[in-house]
Chains A and B, each alone.
Chain A
Amino acid sequence: MDTQQEQNYSVQEMINQKKSNKSIFNTTEKIVPLFLLLCAIISVLTTIGILFTLLRESVTFFSDVSLAEFYLGTQWSPWSGKFGVFPLIAGTLLVTAIATCVALPIGIASAIYLSEYASTRSRKVIKPILEILAGIPTVVYGFFALTFVTPILQGIFPDLKIFNALSAGIVVGIMITPMIASLSEDAMNAVPNRLREGALALGATKLEVTWKVIIPAALSGIVASIVLAVSRALGETMIVTIAAGATPNLTFNPMESIQTLTAFIVQGATGDTSYGSTIYFSIYAVGITLFIFTFAMNLFAQYISRRFREDY
């Protein structure tokens, strides 16, 4: 009788304990998702923060300098009160154009070779080596451009300035090459083998298979990789700050020293710019211009890879 009661009691106790445990579980089960949601919202807040920052300071800037003066003006010399952003945009586009001319052929050719010609073994070796290029810090590329590429180019073109768009553009091109190569190779690799084999069986050479079957089938991925790489080149900062100079010339001559949007942001933020001055706010106006460029490119890339994806 006694033992029976004791047992009953301990079972009751166990049930009670289980119940209290359950309430701890229940609280954890409720709190954890909330905490995770809060963390997820931080990334949204970051975007809002970026937009807020750029807009608020730009609005202050545009109360000093009119939108028309900023976007239509052709002279950028903030320290003497001339805020026409066009030279900076021209500099950015010039460097990006040179970079694309370097990266596009090399990147696509590498992707074609790796995906269509190389053996599995050499692909496994070469692709990671190419990707090392993508992991090198941009300040290192800047050093390389200024101390190695520029002197070599000066040997070829004696008129070349020490700081010039050409050298910076070439090195930015080297930096974005692995991006095009790697992403395009992924897109080509995703084309199913039966398409390749079908074309080969009809007597096409490898080049014809690549040109007429693989590239059309992988086009959305290839174009998206190029657009992303161009967007990366637009926003690249250190290479152009170190190698392209700080003279906002309105020129499309790659031999000249220029200044890009990003390079001005660095100059404006590090020079003796006081908080609250027009130059300080101009950094944000330049920043929002850059942001709009890269944001449009990124949206475009996402649109292409969604809209034109060929599913097999």
Chain B
Amino acid sequence: MQTNTFSINRMRRRVIVNQVFKYIFIFSMSLALLALALLIYRILNQGLGSLNIDFLRQFPAPYPEKAGLFAGIMGSLYLMFLIAPISITIGVSTALYLEEYAAKNKFTRFIQINVQNLAGVPSIVFGLLGLTFFVYLFSLGYTLIAGALTMSLLILPVIVVASQEAIRAVPEDIRAASIAMGATKWQTIWRIVLPASIPGILTGSILALSRAIGETAPLIIVGAAAAIYTIPDSLTSKYTAMPIQIYNWTTRPQEEWQYLAGAGIIVLLIILLLMNSIAIWIRNKFQSRY
């Protein structure tokens, strides 16, 4: 009798502990969600007041009411148009080589591990790489193309890994079918494998590009400037970018600049949200299952 009540009590305690911990887990997770909510609330609260058409059209200025994000937006767009073809070409080619052509040997494994390790290198180290090679060694200086090349290398591993996954998901059957119909290896890749894996490749590439748009540290190192009063007109122009402007405004002591930084962040986040939505849309729309 006594052991029975003992085990019932024990049972009850175990069930209660289980419930308590469930709520502890929910509570901890809510903290992360709360942080996100506060972050968004804070930024809207700070930035919405300064967000207007003039802010989008004006160049940087010494007075907060005259300053705008136009040079930053255009700089980021130019960067994106340079980064996308460079990094996607190299990234997809690397993935194709690794998945379709490479023999399963030590050299292939080395490239693979190398790509994985590159993905873990802090972005600021890529900035140092760009500073030595592109800015000084290739004497490109603090120019748009030096920034674009640095950022392309930064997001390269992300694109390689995403493309590899997309290419791997194309089933062996349709490759074999194509070869059996007399197509050569490259014809099969170009006409069968690539079209089938394009949605995955695009999704990964857009996500990688949105990372490049938000990156600040490497651009600071390779010399994106804050006070830029023109739009880049060649590859060797000086340039700025949205995160650089935001960083610059954030570090100024007067409160008015903080509002501008908030407004800039809203624009940046909207652009990132758009890019991510497009990526998700592509994934859902074109994802074909075999």
Contact = CB atoms under 8 A, between A and B. Distances in A.
Given A32-B186, A33-B101, A46 B118 contact: yes
A238 B157 CA distance: 21
Contact of A138 (B96, B118, B216): B216
Contacts of B122: 234-237, 262, 290-291, 294
A274 interface: no
B128 A39 contact: no
Contacts of A132: 36
A14 to B, nearest CB: 15
B146 to A, nearest CB: 13
Interface string B5-19: 000000000110110
A294 B118 contact: no
A276 to B, nearest CB: 10
A231 interface: yes
Interface of B: 14-15, 17-18, 21-22, 24-26, 28-29, 31-33, 35-36, 38-39, 42-43, 46, 89-90, 93-94, 96-98, 101-102, 110-111, 113-118, 120-129, 131-133, 136, 153, 156-157, 160, 184-187, 210-211, 213-217, 220-221, 243, 246-247, 250-251, 258, 261-262, 265, 268-269, 272, 276
Interface of A: 25, 28-29, 32-33, 35-37, 39-44, 46-47, 49-50, 53-54, 56-57, 105-107, 109-110, 112-114, 117, 126, 129-130, 132-133, 135-144, 146-148, 174, 177-178, 181, 205-208, 228, 231, 234-238, 241-242, 262, 265-266, 269-270, 275, 283-284, 287, 290-291, 294-295, 297-299, 302
29 contacts: A29-B184, A35-B93, A36-B96, A37-B101, A43-B111, A46-B118, A47-B114, A47-B118, A49-B129, A57-B132, A106-B31, A106-B32, A126-B29, A136-B269, A136-B272, A137-B216, A138-B217, A140-B268, A141-B39, A142-B250, A147-B42, A177-B32, A207-B21, A228-B120, A235-B123, A262-B217, A284-B132, A291-B125, A294-B121
